[in-house]
Structure 1
Amino acid sequence: MKITLRQLQIFVAIAEHGSTTAAAEQIPLSQSATSAALAELELLLGTSLFDRIGKRLSLNETGRSLLEAARGTLNGVEEIERNFGMGEGRSLPAWIRLGASTTLGNYVMPERIAKLLRTEPLTQVQMRIGNTQEIINAVQRLDVDAGVIEGPCHADDLDVQPWGIDALVVVASPEHKLARDSQRCSIEALRSQRWLVREAGSGTRESVDNVLLPHLGGFSSSMQLGSTEAIKQAVGAGLGIACLSSCSVQDLLALGRLTVLTTELPPLERMLYCIAHRSKRFSASLTRLLEPMTSESMR
């Protein structure tokens, strides 16, 4: 049995209206027949096309990859079958919508996406970057398929899994007085500095508050900046010191514009998390993209 025009018509209707009941009213067809046609199409393709959140059907990354083709080629089923290799047992290429908090989106995920596309050149990846709370909100709304974040997630409706360990370092300009001191920076000396920090809602900010403030007891002076890049440049200009992800400062360390301070603090690190809606089913491509960071912890 091959794909039929009727199956594609029903698939598009469900995608546009969000349920088999609403799609059945538009076609028109009975709700049971509409559900059966969708089940047959998914069985034929060997993959689900929707995430089922209660009574709502929301296209997953594989379904989105089919939607545009289905809309434009309802009279060209043979072309769809040829493009997606139906007769050769191959799976549909995925269209992934990923959310990533700022540090991970800027410094970790681009390399992972490039690695995935070297083996899956037809896969499409769209990445939304925001602070941790923004990514949590996007996952809750199903605006993205999954997210990787730098701060804890307390949303009850999401599945939250540890994803890796991120080393944090205290950095300063090489010209800063603490950098010129040959001794370890004391807790008192660190506390007295101007600290450059991210905005509330940022995973970096929450991590710094959680791992640093218990040792310092507070900041004598602080300045809030809206991005890690802004903080790095400000530190390099001598505006203050900062606690940042090790991976985010490698470029300016290599250029000699930043230096890692030797301090009396214990090693600082934070947990990274992968989050998804509890009803979300990962495609094989999304699973490969979001394999947990084990030996590649960012140190």
Structure 2
Amino acid sequence: MRLTLRQLAIFRTIAQHGSTTRASAVLSLSQSATSAALQELEHALGAQLFDRAGKRLVLNVNGQGLLPQAIQLLEAAAQIEDGFQHADIGGRLRVGCSTTIGNYLMPALMKALSKRAPKVKVDVIMGNSADIARHAAQLSIDLGLIEGPCHLADLSARLWCEDELLIVAAAEDPLAKTAKVSLHQLASARWLLREPGSGTAEQVSELLLPHLKHWPHTQEVGSSEAIKHMVAAGLGISCLSRRVVGDLIAQGQLVVLRHGLPALTRPFYEVHHRNKFVSRAMEEFLQILEGFPSAYRRPCSA
């Protein structure tokens, strides 16, 4: 067999960093050794794996097909090695998550994992749901936890939790003193919304726009934490997770608006590449998601 794990490991690193220069720095190899390993791999396969775009190497169709297979082989080899060296589950897990999940649910998930597999190290990558889904599709993370559905064909998606969304306003906002806010009042209000690509933004649009029909007064803000404080300052209203706004509601700075809309809930999904090798560490984490406490698996009560 002409293929080696070393060649595949170097190929994976080049694919992740986009150049032999960056890959060689990560691998602590000379650039010539890194380039030579790539050439050996391409020669063994009889196919070019990258297109050259200036100084950047971009995976072509051949490389895109090879990458998930290479990662699966490398992770399987690492799992074999780890199984002989350690009786307990160890290794490193790369979990991507949206900001709401990262801020409010990941601490509990990591605590549960630390009890089941204390030797597993978890790297947490945070971003909006679209970014996390792309990371999972590119295999730069082991799995992602996102808000709302995923539209990338290479990913396997599984519902693991539901979240409750609330329409909130500042305590002194006139709408907060209204017994029941009408659809016209909601449509005419100033809205503070997450940016495109955010799972919250996508879900809020799908839940509210069919009822409100139009949204003339909106501003985009790249953080739910920032939005809730802007709402508390009287700059507009918003629709956010109860987990995000619960503290300011308890303090009396925010008020939940009463309305005639259906219950506002959204799903949280776990996503990973369809060809992802499931390590023992990843399997433990998936089991934690499967057994997530029932108090968190359904929308929070009002």
TM-score interval w.r.t. the shorter chain?
0.7 to 0.9
Q: Could you report, residue by residue, the CA deviation over 1:78-111 in whole angstroms, capped at 9, with x for unpaired residues?
A: xxx9xx68488x2440210011112111211122
Structure 1 residue 269 and structure 2 residue 265: aligned? yes
Q: Indicate the larger mover: 166-175 or 280-289.
A: 280-289
Q: Where do residues 55-74 of structure 1 align in structure 2 (5 Å cutoff)?
A: 55-56=66-67, 57-59=69-71, 63=75
Give 1:279 shift. Answer: 0.5
Following TM superposition, by how much is the alpha carbon of 1:281 offset from its aligned partner in structure 2, in angstroms?
2.8
Paired residues of 1:164 and 1:294 also in contact (CA < 8 A): no
Q: Is the 8 A contact 2:116 2:284 kept in 1?
A: no
2:97 corresponding residue in structure 1: 100
Compared with structure 1, are the counterparts of its residues 16 and 91 closer, same or farther at alpha carbon in structure 2 (3 Å cutoff)? Answer: farther
In structure 2, do the counterparts of structure 1 residues 65 and 169 end up closer, same or farther at CA, with 3 Å as the change threshold? farther
Partner residue in 1 for 2:155? 158
Task: List aligned pairs for 1:74-153, cutoff 5 A.
Answer: 86=84, 90-153=87-150
Q: Which one of 231, 234, 239 corresponds to residue 230 of structure 2?
A: 234
Render the CA deviation track for 1:183-225: whole Å, top value 9, x for unaligned: 1111122111101101111110000100011111122311111
Aligned residues: 249
Pick closer, same or farther for the CA change 1:64–1:128 going to 2, 3 Å.
Answer: farther
- 1:168 aligned onto 2:165: yes
User: What's the secondary structure of 2:247's corresponding residue?
Assistant: helix
Return the offset for 1:237. Answer: 0.4
Give the secondary-structure state (helix, strand or coil) at the position aligned to 1:218.
coil
Structure with the higher fraction of residues in helix conformation: 2
CA contact (8 A) 1:235 1:241 kept: yes
Q: Separation in 2 of the partners of 1:143 and 1:283?
A: 15
Q: Distance in 2 between matches of 1:266 and 1:147?
A: 29
Aligned Cα RMSD in Å? 3.2
1:185 paired with 2:173, answer: no
TM-score, with length taken from structure 1 = 0.73
**What is the identity, as a one-letter code, of the residue corresponding to 1:125?**
V
- Identity in percent: 38
Partner of 1:211: 207
In the alignment, what sits opposite 1:16?
A: 10
Q: CA deviation at 1:283?
A: 2.5
User: Is contact 2:170-2:253 (8 Å) kept?
Assistant: yes
Does the 8 Å contact 1:160/1:275 carry over to 2? yes
Q: Which runs of 4+ in 1 moved over 4 A?
A: 10-14, 22-26, 57-60, 62-67
CA distance in structure 2 between the partners assigned to 1:139 and 1:223 by the alignment:
29
Cα deviation, residue 180, structure 1: 1.9
2:156 aligned counterpart, secondary structure:
strand
Which one-letter code corresponds to 1:174 in the other structure? A
- Is residue 260 of structure 2 the alignment partner of residue 256 of structure 1? no
- Partners of 2:121 and 2:210 in 1: how far apart? 43
Displacement of 1:140 in angstroms is 1.2
Higher CA-based Rg: 1
Q: Which runs of 5+ in 2 are unaligned?
A: 14-35, 46-63
Counterpart-to-counterpart distance in 1, 2:107 and 2:114: 11
Asked if structure 1 preserves the Cα contact closer than 8 Å seen for 2:11 and 2:38, the reply is no
Q: Is the 8 A contact 1:65 1:94 kept in 2?
A: no
CA distance in 2, matches of 1:11, 1:98: 24
User: Residue 234 of structure 2: SS of its match in structure 1?
Assistant: coil
Deviations, residues 243-279 of structure 1 (Å, cap 9, x unaligned):
0111111222222221211111111111221111110
Q: Distance in 1 between matches of 2:175 and 2:157?
A: 39
1:199 and 2:195 aligned: yes
Alignment of 1:274-285 (within 5 A): 274-285=270-281
| AA matched with 1:127 | V
SS at match of 1:212: helix
Provide the rounded CA distance (Å) in 2 between the counterparts of 1:143 and 1:99. 9
